[in-house]
Amino acid sequence: MNRKNYIIRNENKNDYFAVENLTRESFWNLSFPGCNEHYFIHVMRDHKDFIPELAFVMEVDGEIIANIMYLKSKLIDENGNEKETISFGPVCVHPKYQRMGYGKILIEHSFEKAKEMGFDTVIIFGNPDNYVARGFKSCIRFNVCLDGGYFPAPLLVKELKENQFDGRRWFYHESDASAPCADEEAVENFDKNFPPKEKGWQPSQEEFFIHSHSGLNA
């Protein structure tokens, strides 16, 4: 593997456009024709759940090639007790640099920083192929579900510190920071700030459909 020297640092204001463009390049046509992840991170930074200390960029030869961002999320048990968790996404590596280990290094760096900040559990919706090697396990192993007792296949849990779970049922509540992405017109308008790109179909969209409609039996 021909990995180049890299640096990882916190994102700052001067990086915003480059990071949004990187996100757009990485997610374009991945889950549906076009993408909205660049708009998501644009609005996320002003949301109360955003954790700026865990927004990292990775640079190679002075160019940002990867980034990761986190939001606060929570679990609520059947008695109304709450447990603070964190959730990353979008995370991306520029297509030119994918599958060379950069994503692994960046994600694991963010775990170390999150641990130092006192966080103990990361919960995400993601393609298990990308995350089981990072220590994520199915939500069902920790009795973490959505309202209604549904265990989505892509809902994944990673303990940053061991033994966070005692078998009780927890309901996952993600941040509402992505809510503005439902406004397709706002996404389209925001997208005009970037170079034109053609929307189209690719097989990963079917993969996304399958994962996002899959649940596990308790």
* Residues contributing to the site for ligand COA (CB under 6 A): 26-27, 30, 91-93, 98-104, 126-127, 129-130, 133
In angstroms, give the least distance from the CB of 168 to ligand COA: 28
Q: How far is the CB of 32 from ligand COA (least distance, A)?
A: 13
Nearer to ligand COA, 76 or 128 (CB): 128
| SS3 sequence of the chain | CCCCCCEEEECCHHHHHHHHHHHHHHHCCCCCCCCCHHHHHHHHCCCCCECHHHCEEEEECCEEEEEEEEEEEEEEECCCCEEEEEEEEEEEECHHHCCCCHHHHHHHHHHHHHHHCCCCEEEEECCHHHHHHHCCEEHHHHCEEECCCEEECCEEEEECCCCCCCCCCEEEECCCCCHHHHCHHHHHHHHCCCCCCCCCCCCHHHHHHHHHCCEECC
Give the CA count within 13 Å in the CB-facing half-sphere of 41: 29
Report the distance separating Cα 65 and Cα 58, nearest Å: 6
Q: How far is the CB of 208 from ligand COA (least distance, A)?
A: 9
Least separation in angstroms between CB 88 and ligand COA: 9
Contact 72, 86 (CB under 8 A): yes
Query: Based on CB atoms, which residue is closest to ligand COA, 29 or 76?
Result: 29
Nearer to ligand COA, 40 or 151 (CB): 40
**Pairing of the two strands 170-173 and 63-77:** antiparallel
Nearer to ligand COA, 83 or 109 (CB): 109
Beta carbon of residue 96, minimum distance to ligand COA (angstroms, whole number): 10
Would you say 8 or 76 has its CB closer to ligand COA?
A: 8
Q: Which CB atom, from 100 or from 140, has the smaller least distance to ligand COA?
A: 100
Distance in Å, CB of 176 to ligand COA, minimum: 19
